Amino acid sequence: MIIAVTGGKGGVGKSMVATSLAVELGKKTKTMLIDADAECPNDHLLLNVKRKKYKDIKQMIPKWNRSKCTKCGKCALVCKQNAIVFVKNRYPAFVKDVCIGCGACMVSCPNNAIGKSKKIIGSVYTGRNYKILLVSGELKLGELASGEVVAELRKNSQKIDTKKKHDFVLIDSAAGIGCPVIASITGTDFVIAVTEPTPSALHDMKRVLYLADHFKIDSGIVINKCNIDKKFCSKIEDFAKKKKIPILGKIPYRKDFIKSTVSMKPVSKINKKYSKIFNNIIEKIHDM
Ligand code: SF4
Ligand code: SF4
């Protein structure tokens, strides 16, 4: 079973929920956790995993052959990323960092003066702790294509799990509803939308649930920090009831979660009582 943990708004506790669920699943089953928050991966910190590089992720970029270039400027005109700077009677200048490898410049060149090269845009790392195999993706500093990094991360995690020996794969997604999140939830069996009782978190969670519905993936809601505003928590529950989306669990806001982050230990290792909350979430998904 492949489960994506997402939620829309940043800072609602997606990584805490993903790592805590992975720890509980890892006690009984073979579990792989994919950290797909490529711009800011942190599951290895929360689980105190020493990561090793598995491979670099490369992206195609254009390479100019000046002997064929007639300085017409057509390549710069079609580049929506403004990665090609053209000044009349000069060869085009290439800003490698903002190129997303779409290939439009190559197609537009009338003289076949643009060939292919590659650049590293990120890396895949692996590591283990708490009987979990962690596969983590990281976007290279200054690069933009986090969606591509997540898509390659997903492909590589399948290669790492060639014998399909993992019963559960959990994917900890980035915030938002953009390319990295779409690449995270594609092909999953279930989406957990983590939220908190604030208007912005509810607004962003609605967008994520809309996305899951668009891809016809079943979903459920986890309300984190539910005790910070009980009235607003009820508002989220009313929304869930109206939309017939199950509330999988409610997690209180306690100092134990800060201790967990600071000590790089799962919260259930700080206080065993939290195991029950995460096991209940797993059971509810299993029963659906
Ligand atoms: S590959 Fe696409 S983004 Fe990169 S320079 Fe060419 S047109 Fe611009
Ligand atoms: S489109 Fe081709 S020929 Fe024209 S400036 Fe670009 S590389 Fe040179």
Please give the residue range of the domain that contains residue 103. Answer: 66-112
Same domain for 15 and 142: yes
| 131 Cα–ligand 1 center, Å | 43
Residue type, 34: I
Question: Interior CA angle at 277 toward 264 and 251, to 5°?
Answer: 75
Q: Find, among 41, 40, 46, the residue nearest to 19 by Cα.
A: 46
Does the beta carbon of 23 lie inside 6 Å of ligand 1? no
* Ligand 1 near 100 CB (within 6 A): yes
CA of 99 to the centre of ligand 1 (A): 5
CB of 25 closer than 8 Å to CB of 168: yes
Token pair of 150 as six digits = 């997540």
Q: Are 196 and 14 in contact (CB under 8 A)?
A: no
Q: Are residues 94 and 163 in the same domain?
A: no
Q: Is the CB of 117 under 6 A from ligand 1?
A: no
Do residues 122 and 149 touch, judged by C-beta distance below 8 A? yes
Q: Are residues 71 and 51 in the same domain?
A: no
Digit-by-digit pLDDT tens for the chain (288 residues) are 999 999 999 999 999 999 999 999 999 999 999 999 999 999 999 999 999 999 999 999 999 999 999 999 999 999 999 999 999 999 999 999 899 899 999 999 999 999 999 999 999 999 999 999 999 999 999 888 899 999 999 999 999 887 778 899 999 999 999 999 999 999 999 999 999 999 999 999 999 999 999 999 999 999 999 999 999 999 999 999 999 999 999 999 999 999 999 999 999 999 999 999 999 999 999 988
Q: How many domains does the chain have?
A: 2
Whether residue 106 sits in one domain with residue 8: no
Instruction: Answer yes or no: do 17 and 130 share one domain.
Output: yes
Question: Which residues are CB-neighbours of 84 under 8 A, at least 6 positions away?
Answer: 75, 76, 92, 93, 94, 95, 105
Q: Report the nearest-CA residue for atom 6 of ligand 2.
A: 75
Tell how far the Cα of 113 is from the centroid of ligand 2, in angstroms.
Answer: 6
| DSSP one-letter code for 39 | T
Residue of 82, 84, 96, 143 to test ligand 1 pocket, by largest number of atoms within 8 Å of CB: 84
Tracing tokens 């029963």 back to the chain, one arrives at 287
CA 193 to chain centre: 13
Q: Tell whether 117 is covered by a domain.
A: no
